[in-house]
Amino acid sequence: MEDITKEEIESLEQKAKEVRKGIIEAVYSNHSGHPGGSLSIADILTVLYFKEMKINPENPEMPERDRLVLSKGHCSPALYSALANRGYFPLEELKTFRNINGRLQGHPDKKHIPGIDMSTGSLGQGLSSANGMALSAKLDKLGYRVYCILGDGEIEEGQVWEAAMTSSKYKLDNLCVIIDNNNLQIDGTIKEVMSPYPIDEKFKSFGFEIIKIDGHNIEEIIKAFEVARNIKEKPTCIIAKTIKGKGVSFMENQVKWHGEAPNEEQYKQALEELN
């Protein structure tokens, strides 16, 4: 296990705050978007884009780059903020989110936005795309890894489990699935809507190596990705226990913030808390 310094963890924690500020900025700018589930994956995306993934903002189409599929595509503000903070496009552009004259659509668009590896939005489809990328990496002997972020409500979709069988059948050990287990979806708790629990046992029965972590603990996230890199002959599923709206007090664990933008007063309070 690699040594992780206190300074490195603190640096990533600070970067995660910047990613969260970008999320709030984007969603407030056009008074539209999904802040809750974006905030819950901010720490995971920060570790991926600032430590884990082999990427190059100056060469976003680099063939051997690692790939990320944000299957829960409505949480694009988190991905856009991570990309902007990593240097793929200017931070100022986050203010054009969902603007008819801008390119930052409500769901990721790989055709127009550098750093986006898959256009997503129709829930349940991301793992199928990630499987294809992981297979391609093996066939072309390029050696890159593929990361796929799924919502815990999203895994109520049947296609996820067809794709999971495929991941296992082809022994995609270069594939890492991350479940954002914040326990809330648009209509309430996942238990109330259509419980996917026990998530760990389900993915294990489909042939995945299971890692369970606190999705807001930077050190645990780093170590989980390191363990996943060393798993052979089968895919990995990291189940990250998270808090919807994490980092903004009035949004935390509140289902209403699944798809609601803050007003001016709430926007200012959110930025003040994150600062």
pLDDT digits (tens, 9 = 90+) for 156-201: 999 999 999 999 999 999 999 999 999 999 999 999 999 999 999 9
Q: How many residues does the chain have?
A: 275
- % residues pLDDT > 70 (the chain): 100
Sign of torsion over alpha carbons 160, 161, 166, 169: positive
Q: What is the pLDDT of residue 2?
A: 74
The angle subtended at Cα 224 by Cα 218 and Cα 228, nearest 5°, is 150
Cβ neighbours, 10 Å, residue 195 = 12
First to last CA, the chain: 33
Query: Mean pLDDT, to the nearest integer, of 249-269?
Result: 97
Cβ proximity of 71 and 134 under 8 Å: no
In this structure, which amino acid lies at residue 134?
A
| Residue of 229, 263, 265 whose CA lies nearest to 27 | 263
Separation CA 64–CA 17 (nearest Å) = 29
pLDDT digits (tens, 9 = 90+) for 190-213: 999 999 999 999 999 999 999 999
Ordered domains of the chain (ranges, CATH):
6-274 (3.40.50.970)
Mention every residue, 6+ apart, whose C-beta is less than 8 A from residue 215: 40, 41, 43, 44, 180, 181, 221, 240, 241, 242
Q: With contact defined as beta carbons under 8 Å apart, do 184 and 192 qualify?
A: no
